[in-house]
Amino acid sequence: GENVEQHPSTLSVQEGDSAVIKCTYSDSASNYFPWYKQELGKRPQLIIDIRSNVGEKKDQRIAVTLNKTAKHFSLHITETQPEDSAVYFCAASAGRDDKIIFGKGTRLHILP
Amino acid sequence: EPEVTQTPSHQVTQMGQEVILRCVPISNHLYFYWYRQILGQKVEFLVSFYNNEISEKSEIFDDQFSVERPDGSNFTLKIRSTKLEDSAMYFCASSVRGQGHYEQYFGPGTRLTVT
């Protein structure tokens, strides 16, 4: 089955700097890669997603890249703000009806 | 904007007791899921459900677990005889079927504490 690895587990960046979180997946059948932000005690919230027919996607300060050959995908947050502090999960899915397999999460701290 | 809802928000139960966690998916959604998250860990898939039957289940979803859609709106997860290790946050999710629609919408979760 699918296995998603995520690193780093913790990331501290100065406010205004960029943050990068990297993930790898194992199942070449995976074709949908969502990223979730989870604040303490809350539900995972989808912040951006990318499908396997696209190499990059951007939404304001957030961008994701996907390298299908290497089975790598990454989240980039630019101009970080205090409200970006949260746990971020990468995930992979093999289709619109399929389960989502999550990575272990990255705790992002934005330092003042 | 429609949302997935879950009740209760927090359930405390004694080991060996049965619990039922309830979810109301978004009304035009056809695929339903349960996930769980042990405190401080990743979100784990339990089961997917479509057309009134289980589509797929994980190794976690053993004979102690069952799901049901009893009335066309609620989607329930039952744990027959709870164990301490069942303590976790349980999230329900739903998705709409259709070309290009992939997103699963998560509910706010039910925190289950087994004592």
Among candidates A43, A89, A99 on the partner chain, residue whose Cβ is nearest the Cβ of B56: A99
Return mean pLDDT, chain A.
94
The predicted-structure confidence for A25-38, as pLDDT tens digits, reads as follows 999 989 999 999 99
8 Å CB contact of A43 and B56: no
Largest Cα–Cα distance in chain B?
45
Q: Quick one: pLDDT band at residue A96, thresholds 50, 70, 90?
A: low
Q: Quick one: pLDDT band at residue A95, thresholds 50, 70, 90?
A: low
Instruction: Output the pLDDT for position A97.
Output: 64
One-letter-per-residue 3-state SS of chain B: CCCCEEECCEEEECCCCCEEEEEECCCCCCEEEEEEECCCCCEEEEEEEECCEEEEECCCCCCCEEEECCCCCCEEEEECCCCHHHCEEEEEEEECCCCCCCCCEECCCEEEEEC
Separation of alpha carbons A42 and B1, rounded Å: 18
* Residues of chain A with C-beta less than 8 angstroms from the C-beta of B91: 43-44
Instruction: Output the pLDDT for position A84.
Output: 97
| Per-position DSSP letters for chain A, written without gaps between them | ---EEEE-SEEEEETTS-EEEEEEE--TT--EEEEEEE-TTS--EEEEEEETT-SEEEETTEEEEEETTTTEEEEEE-S--GGG-EEEEEEEESSTTSPEEE---EEEEEE-
Instruction: Output the pLDDT for position A54.
Output: 83
The verdict on A3 touching B (C-beta cutoff 8 Å) is: no
CB distance A32 to A95 below 8 Å: yes
* Residues of chain A with C-beta less than 8 angstroms from the C-beta of B102: 32, 34, 49, 51, 93, 95-96
Contacts of B63 by beta carbon, 8 Å cutoff, 6+ apart: B80
Mean per-residue pLDDT pooled into runs of 10, chain B (115 residues): 93 98 93 94 94 92 94 92 97 78 87 98
* B→A interface, C-beta within 8 Å: 31, 33, 35, 41-45, 48, 50, 55-56, 58, 91, 95, 97-98, 100-104, 106-109
Instruction: Output the pLDDT for position B2.
Output: 84
CB contacts < 8 A (A, B): 56
Among candidates B41, B98, B106 on the partner chain, residue whose Cβ is nearest the Cβ of A44: B106
